Amino acid sequence: MWKKSEPEEFHPQPIPVPQAQPAAVPQNFVVHTKERALIGPTIAIKGDVTGEEDLLIEGQVEGKIELHRHSVTVGKNGRIKADIYGKIITVEGSVEGNLYAEEQLVVKQSATVRGNIVSPRVALEDGSNFKGNIDVSQREKSAADATFQDQPLP
């Protein structure tokens, strides 16, 4: 007859998992790891838009857009009748309203802007359509700048 012997100890062996190879990325390809919200080309909003994330607008917005600490991009299909407040604002479509960027504002070649721009850095690409005033002064002076400016000239 068959006699049961001592139980053998089971030692699981790790199963090799193939590692995914990263895809080749062209050098001129920009990879964005940060998520951003999208207002699609068939969406129309009348009212204020606020939030705590980056925003891409391909649709229509009429009102006010306030994303002070985030970037706002008006895509080529975007049609805006609103003041826009953002950290970095990029316009590729059409905007009627004032633009207030904390860091930088870029008006692309395909853009049409009718309104005033307030930003410490402004770039208008060749061929862009802009009508308004531009204020590139800093909103707040640092303490070091204020101290330096108060010094009398020798």
Answering whether pTM is above 0.85, one says no
- Per the DSSP assignment, residues forming a β-bridge with 131 are 114
Q: CB neighbours of 8 closer than 8 A, spacing ≥ 6?
A: none
Work out the mean pLDDT of the chain and round it to a whole number.
Answer: 82
- Exposure string for 9-40, b = 16+ CB within 10 A, e = fewer: eeeeeeeeeeeeeeeeeeeeeeeeeeeeeebe
The structure tokens 């998520």 sit at: 35
Q: Is there a contact between 80 and 97 (Cβ–Cβ < 8 Å)?
A: yes
d(C-alpha 73, C-alpha 86), whole Å:
9
Over the stretch 76-131, which tens digit does the pLDDT of each residue have?
A: 999 999 999 999 999 999 999 999 999 999 999 999 999 999 999 999 999 999 99
Q: How far is it, in rounded angstroms, from Cα 60 to Cα 81?
A: 8
**Is pLDDT at 134 greater than 90 in this prediction?**
yes
32 or 3: which leads in pLDDT = 3
Query: What does the DSSP assignment read for 132-151?
Result: S-EE-S-SS--HHHHHHHHS
